[in-house]
Amino acid sequence: MAHRKKTLRRMPQNTRKLARLIDDLDSVSRRLKHYLSTVHDMELDSRALQNMNKLHDPLVDTAIKVSKAQDAQLFSEEGEKHD
């Protein structure tokens, strides 16, 4: 809990500085706790996206489609030669 101004004025100088630092530390800790859930959710989403990209890599999918198309074309050309 933050110290009141009246309380801080009564303290010696070094004690007052230490009390202000403690108040700042408490404030930063509270803000970090609020960000914790956001960072956690972002990390899970990032992992899911990485896994999805590994499973559905567009370059690999495109290469497979091109390879299948080339195979189909090659087989159709061979069929025409044999007729």
Its pTM stands at 0.45
Q: What is the pLDDT, as a whole number, of residue 11?
A: 82
How many helices and strands (H and E) does the chain possess?
3, 0
Which residue ranges of the chain lie beneath pLDDT 50? none
Predicted local distance difference test score (pLDDT) of residue 62: 64
Which residue segment(s) compose the domain that 20 sits in? 5-82
Mean of pLDDT over the chain: 77
- How many separate domains does the chain show? 1
pLDDT at site 78: 60
Q: Rounded distance, CA 15 to CA 21, Å?
A: 10
